[in-house]
Amino acid sequence: MLRVLHRIALVALISSVLLSCGPSSRVYQAPPEALALASKAVTYPKTSFVVITDPHVYDPALGVTGSAFQAYLDKDRKLLKESEELFDAAIDRAATEEADFVIICGDMTKDGEKNNHLMVAEKLKRFQAAGKSVFVVPGNHDVANGEAVRFVGDHSEPIPSVTGAEFADIYRDFGYNAALDRDPASLSYLAEPVPGLWLLAVDSCKWKDNRPGHHAITGGAYSPETFGWIEATLMRARQQGKAVIVFQHHGIMEHYPHNAKFYGDYLVDDHDAVAEMLSTFGVSLVFTGHFHAQDISRRVFDEGRRTIYDIETGSLVTSPCPYRRVRVTDGQKAVIDSRFIDAIPSHPTDFKTYAADYVYQGTIKLADEALIKYKVSEPGRVKFNPQVSRAYVTHLKGDEKARIVIDTDGAGLWGKFVMFMQEDLLYGWTTDLPPADNRLTIDLTTGKSE
């Protein structure tokens, strides 16, 4: 009985740091007409584009001093104070890239504050001035968020978030006005940034279920209506010989062993079925964000005849503060490179060190607070917290090189039990599933990568 109670307590403990949901269970059944088109060859047009995600932009005018703001920072790992500088730096650098367009995979703002969305939209005009079109989708923080606030001294005050209609209106020049089609059930849409390439912008968030005064729902899903709209759109793409690239906030496949077990809300519900459905209709590249890590995963279907990649990009406000540039060549290769913000005005010379230490120390603090609540001894916390943080930071960077070996000396019996229960997570974070994460070339004809 004691062991059962310990397990129950530990599940509650981990949920304070991690979010989980049930495994993917839906099985995708492709319509016969889709299978008939599966062998139809599609040629990707030559193009290049930039991928940015999770900038979490916060207007300093909403408050950056006082105990309430500090309390928010203490429960987070994002470089919120520096978010505007980081977004500006990313725009300045990415605007000089040889690229036709830019995609942003959601979490535009801290918590959906209308002020912050308006700031983001104004800044995105600089991409247009540089000749680059921009396409956005919402993240789980962006719409109908009950935690949209300003900070005033020792308290916070609610301020307006945005509705779905307001999100589409604010970003009308960044995808929605250019839409060839829109899903009536979500903020998903279809665009054609270059001739022959369809860009499917999928709203994978559950913002319709958010409630005032409550934390926005982290998980994602395709409603039956949106799932059907995507199927119909992809069918048209196959019939018209259009290549398709998808981008959304939530991942469509695991990025490390036990991802779904510990962090299921960072994958779209029924992610196995979603991946197979997209692959069935010839989608090879899906760009995602949400988890703030640099990681690329792949799934192979139909005995190797279909391969789909989930290219997750890390957050601008979490070290190593990346974005990606993607080139599609005449030779049907997708060449993916990573870029990293290494200086901002407030940290012109030490930013990389500052940002890395910020997320490392922030993760230690969050783990320590959770372990204190569940009566783990100080020696156990001192032993456990740095190991969690090192594993997490390792995964954020991508291309993990070494698996963690858990050290339990001096942790105490209960501390050792906690570490034992978390072994799968720490192992997962330090295990790099193929392929490479930061630089990769994908053959869009064969699905192979190097």
Distance CA(289)–CA(105), nearest Å, equals 6
Any domain includes 351: no
Supply angle C-alpha 344, 350, 352, rounded to 5: 80
Residue 113 is predicted with a pLDDT of 98
Q: What's the Cα-to-Cα distance from 153 to each of 69, 83, 215, rounded to whole Å? A: 8, 21, 21
Tokens at 99, concatenated: 């690229």
Question: For the whole model, what pTM was predicted?
Answer: 0.93
Distance CA(225)–CA(309), nearest Å, equals 24
Cβ(60)–Cβ(119) under 8 Å?
Answer: no
**How large is the angle between the packed helices 351-373 and 378-397, nearest 10 degrees?**
140
Sign of the torsion formed by the C-alpha atoms of 83, 84, 86 and 91:
positive
Any domain includes 379: no
Cβ(341)–Cβ(87) under 8 Å?
Answer: no
Sign of the torsion formed by the C-alpha atoms of 280, 281, 283 and 284:
positive
Query: Nearest-CA neighbor of 44 among 180, 193, 182, 176?
Result: 193
β-partners of residue 51 are 103, 324
**Residue 405, Ramachandran bin (φ over 0: left; ψ between -120 and 50: alpha; else beta):** beta
Any domain includes 410: no
Each residue's pLDDT, cut to its tens digit, for the chain (450 residues) gives 233 223 333 333 433 333 333 445 677 888 887 777 766 789 999 999 999 999 999 999 999 999 999 999 998 889 999 999 999 999 999 999 999 999 999 999 999 999 999 999 999 999 999 999 999 999 999 999 999 999 999 999 999 999 999 999 999 999 999 999 999 999 999 999 999 999 999 999 999 999 998 999 999 999 999 999 999 999 999 999 999 999 999 999 999 999 999 999 999 999 999 999 999 999 999 999 999 999 999 999 988 889 999 999 999 999 999 999 999 999 999 999 999 999 999 999 999 999 999 999 999 999 898 788 878 888 888 888 999 999 999 999 999 987 777 887 877 888 788 778 888 998 899 999 999 999 999 999 999 999
Residue 118 is predicted with a pLDDT of 98
Any domain includes 220: yes
**Residue 333 lies in domain:** 32-344+438-443
Strand order in the sheet with 133-136: 133-136, 101-104, 47-52, 322-328, 333-340, 440-443
Any domain includes 360: no
Residue 25 is predicted with a pLDDT of 61
Any domain includes 263: yes
Which CATH number fits the domain that encloses residue 146? 3.60.21.10
Tokens at 14, concatenated: 């981990």
Tokens at 240, concatenated: 């018209």
Distance CA(18)–CA(218), nearest Å, equals 11
Residue 309 is predicted with a pLDDT of 98
Residue 434 is predicted with a pLDDT of 95
Residues sharing a CB contact under 8 Å with residue 89, sequence separation 6 or more, in sequence order: 341, 343, 344
Q: Please, is 335 exposed, middle or buried when counting C-beta atoms within 10 Å of its C-beta (0-12, 13-18, 19+)?
A: middle
Residue 244 is predicted with a pLDDT of 98
Query: Nearest-CA neighbor of 252 among 272, 277, 280, 230?
Result: 272
Any domain includes 327: yes
Identity of the residue numbered 121 = A
Any domain includes 251: yes
Residue 354 is predicted with a pLDDT of 98
Rg of the chain, C-alpha, whole Å: 22
Residue 24 is predicted with a pLDDT of 53
Per the structure, the count of domains in the chain is 1
Residues sharing a CB contact under 8 Å with residue 309, sequence separation 6 or more, in sequence order: 284, 285, 286, 296, 297, 298, 435, 442, 449
Residue 134 is predicted with a pLDDT of 98
